[in-house]
Amino acid sequence: MLSSKDQLTELVRHLESKQHIFAADPLLVTEKLKNEAGAPKDKLALRARRIDSNGHLANVLAKIQARIKAVTFILSIIWCVTGFLGLFTLLQSNVVNFFYVLVCLLGFHSLMLIAWIAMSLLNRSGRSWLALISPSYLINSRDDVSQAAVLVYEDQLNHSGMRWYLGKISHQLWLATLTGMLFAIIFLLIVRQYSFSWESTLLSDGVLIQLTHTLGYLPSLVGFDIPSDAVIIESRMIKGVMPIAMAQQWASLLIGSLIVYGIVPRALAFLFCALMFNRRAMTLNLSLPYYQNILQFWQSKIVDHDDFSDVAAPVAPKAVVSSGKKVAVLLEYPTATPDEWWLEALTSERIDNFGMVDDREDLARLIEYLQSASAQVVVGINAQALPDRGLLRKLDRIAAASPNGVIVQLLNLTAAPNPRFDQWQQALSERQIGLVNAL
């Protein structure tokens, strides 16, 4: 999700487009911030806070966030209690079939975990079922602020990293269920005497011995007991009271299997989703016309005629297209497959199209590729993109990893005046990176 300050900035944008009356006049706040220093996103966040001078907008966003956390916590409690009661019901008999109980514990859970892994590999977008989720279920108010806040959260649902956030919640609920089962097992084993047996029509004693030792290999590595061969054979179709030493071996394997094959894999999946969600953190889209107008207003300066001195604007060096191998990369472009003309205009030779670099994984993969390939990098950038620190940091890393140099081409550059073009001229001039449009 967006950070709290970015959420407030987005909420102000939605409300201002609907002519909402704020606690402070947005025009006056924007004018006062014109001469203050700071990064664009920081100034936009400060602008939103000053517009929300009474804190009403921030309170609405905080209320939604608190309700999301409350719903997640309540669901976790319910799933934990459900797991506890389910296993409590399953272990009512004093003689239980070990493998039957183990399948009931981990069978469905393991299938769901495998299904999640398959869906994560096949459905990379993860947006097919996000449409079923809406923050509007948590908000009863129908005023402008509440409805705009719902829109802010719904916009975040369309972000590619949101599937990892929802995956994290899903794994959290499964962990709550497995934890409830673990509590139930430990409680029942403390207060009751159980006998463990196993039955099979097709499998022999030798097969079950091998199966039990295979199952107990990982739990044994962390200190849980495995029933001996004699105990396994004696436990077949047992009906009476089992000696306490034998029962303790089966009980140890049952608890160890639940932890090693249930709780640990689900906890790893939870941590993986949390890591992926943090790596794909959502940020403000400063290329929107709303933000562009504000930033252009802050960047414009009025000077007296007597104080004016004509300073030549920095110009990016002309791009020199090498005759060797080239690789094409897209930054800040809406799709990974733009028109091929921008590649054909450079040279008639074939150019390897690396595609779009959108996140840290893509950037790391590109840098690894450049370290093993001697190629000039042709970077295509949307002409409407703002040369902010994040985008320029990517460009600097690409340039540092490319021994044969980097050239830039601005895509979708129209004939009309484009203030972004001058900003890119300055940014590329400071880095001595050639611009194809200057040819």
pLDDT tens for 213-255 read 999 999 999 999 999 998 988 888 777 788 899 999 999 999 9
Residue 129 has pLDDT above 80, yes or no: no
Are residues 56 and 11 in contact, defined by beta-carbon separation less than 8 angstroms? Answer: no
Same domain, 259 and 364: no
Residue 287 lies in a domain: no
Same domain, 134 and 271: yes
Same domain, 246 and 330: no
pLDDT on residue 123:
62
**Spatial separation of the C-alpha atoms in residues 360 and 281, rounded to whole Å:** 11
Bigger pLDDT: 141 vs 326: 326
Half-sphere exposure of 160 (CA within 13 A, CB side): 9
Q: Is the pTM of this model over 0.75?
A: no
Residue 407 lies in a domain: yes
pLDDT on residue 131:
47
Residue 381 lies in a domain: yes
Domain count across the chain: 2
Bigger pLDDT: 383 vs 30: 30
pLDDT, average across residues 411-417: 66
Q: Each residue of 252-271: pLDDT tens digit?
A: 999 999 999 999 999 999 99
Q: Each residue of 422-436: pLDDT tens digit?
A: 788 888 888 888 888
Taking residue 167's Cβ as centre, other Cβ atoms within 10 Å add up to: 21
Q: Which residue, chain included where needed, has tokens 């779009």?
A: 356
Residue 167 lies in a domain: yes
Same domain, 195 and 67: yes
**CATH code (residue 330):** 3.40.50.10140
- In total, the chain counts a number of residues equal to 439
Residue 142 lies in a domain: yes
**Spatial separation of the C-alpha atoms in residues 381 and 330, rounded to whole Å:** 6
pLDDT on residue 360:
80
Same domain, 115 and 177: yes
Mean confidence (pLDDT) of the chain: 83
Highest mean pLDDT among 113-117, 295-299, 331-335: 113-117
Q: Each residue of 185-198: pLDDT tens digit?
A: 999 999 999 989 88
Highest mean pLDDT among 91-95, 168-172, 326-330: 168-172
pLDDT on residue 255:
95
Are residues 146 and 139 in contact, defined by beta-carbon separation less than 8 angstroms? Answer: yes
Are residues 120 and 167 in contact, defined by beta-carbon separation less than 8 angstroms? Answer: yes
**Spatial separation of the C-alpha atoms in residues 264 and 117, rounded to whole Å:** 15
Q: Where are the alpha helices (DSSP H) in 216-340?
A: 217-221, 229-234, 244-258, 264-279, 289-299
Task: Tell me how far the alpha carbon of residue 113 is from its chain's centroid.
Answer: 18
Q: Specify burial of residue 189 (Cβ count, 10 A radius: 0-12, 13-18, 19+).
A: middle
Task: Among 222, 256, 279, identify where a domain stops.
Answer: 279
pLDDT on residue 157:
74
Task: Among 224, 244, 279, identify where a domain stops.
Answer: 279
Q: What domain range includes position 332? A: 326-438
Residue 4 lies in a domain: no
